Amino acid sequence: MKKEEEHDLLSRARTAIHCHLKQEKLPPAKAELNAKESKGVFVTLWLAGNLRGCIGHLEPRHQKLIMEIEQCAVLAATNDPRFSPVSIEELNQIKIDLSILNQAEPVRSETELDPLHFGVIVEQGMKRGTLLPAIEGIEDSKQQVRIAAEKAGIDLRQSHQLYRYQVIKLTEVDDGT
């Protein structure tokens, strides 16, 4: 992905949040952004180095990637149940990360995982939990699987499936781009 495209996607996430908070209409996206086919996306918001919101989808819910990013950005800012909604005053201080997911693949055991390079999905019946790759404090695949399972209420002593996926991670630099 080119730097300009990365910048445009991050900028679009910020614009979507801004317009939502100000109750303004979101301007049309650039044509080249509208051309990208959708993928699973997670939008993570950081305030002073601390998590401020994170919402995403493992599989796309919209036809276009830009729509996925816009929706997840607004939801991360306003609907993460762990946090109060982001205020318009906070928005200038927030740093945005985008994680664009590649297709998940099944794995036979935790030995095929690497929490620095792969996200994990733990599945048991209708329950699914995930953890993105390269999360600070996640030391090994056993810990990564345990946390993903806990998030979904999955009992790892029972039969379950594991999947791994890679992400394209886009991160704003300190000047908001």
> Quick one: 42 and 91 in the same domain?
yes
Residue 177 counted as domain residue: no
> Quick one: 16 and 79 in the same domain?
yes
List CB contacts of 48: < 8 A, sequence separation 6 or more: 93
Q: 122: closest CA among 158, 96, 93? A: 158
> Quick one: 62 and 139 in the same domain?
no
Q: What is the pLDDT of residue 156?
A: 96
Q: What is the pLDDT of residue 177?
A: 45
Classify the C-alpha dihedral 75-78-81-82 as positive or negative: positive
Q: What is the CATH number for 150?
A: 3.30.1490.150
The amino acid at 115: P
Residue 119 counted as domain residue: yes
Residue 116 counted as domain residue: yes
Q: Whole-angstrom Cα distance, residue 176 to residue 131?
A: 25
Q: CA of 6: how far to CAs of 52, 97, 140, 168, in Å? A: 21, 11, 29, 10
Residue 149 contacts residue 160 (beta carbons within 8 Å): yes
Digit-by-digit pLDDT tens for the chain (177 residues) are 788 899 999 999 999 999 999 999 999 988 888 878 899 999 999 999 999 999 999 999 999 999 999 999 999 999 999 999 999 999 999 999 999 999 999 999 999 999 999 999 999 999 999 999 999 999 999 999 999 999 999 999 999 999 999 999 999 986 544
> Quick one: 49 and 117 in the same domain?
no
pTM of the model: 0.91
* Domain encompassing residue 35: 3-101
Q: What total of structural domains would you count in the chain?
A: 2
Residue 176 counted as domain residue: no
Residue 34 counted as domain residue: yes
Q: What is the pLDDT of residue 174?
A: 61
> Quick one: 93 and 109 in the same domain?
no
> Quick one: 63 and 121 in the same domain?
no
Residue 39 token pair: 């993928």
Q: What is the CATH number for 72?
A: 3.30.700.20
Domain end residue (candidates: 101, 125, 156): 101
Burial class of residue 2 (count of CB atoms within 10 Å of its CB; 0-12, 13-18, 19+): exposed
Left, alpha or beta for 109 (phi > 0: left; psi -120 to 50: alpha)?
A: beta
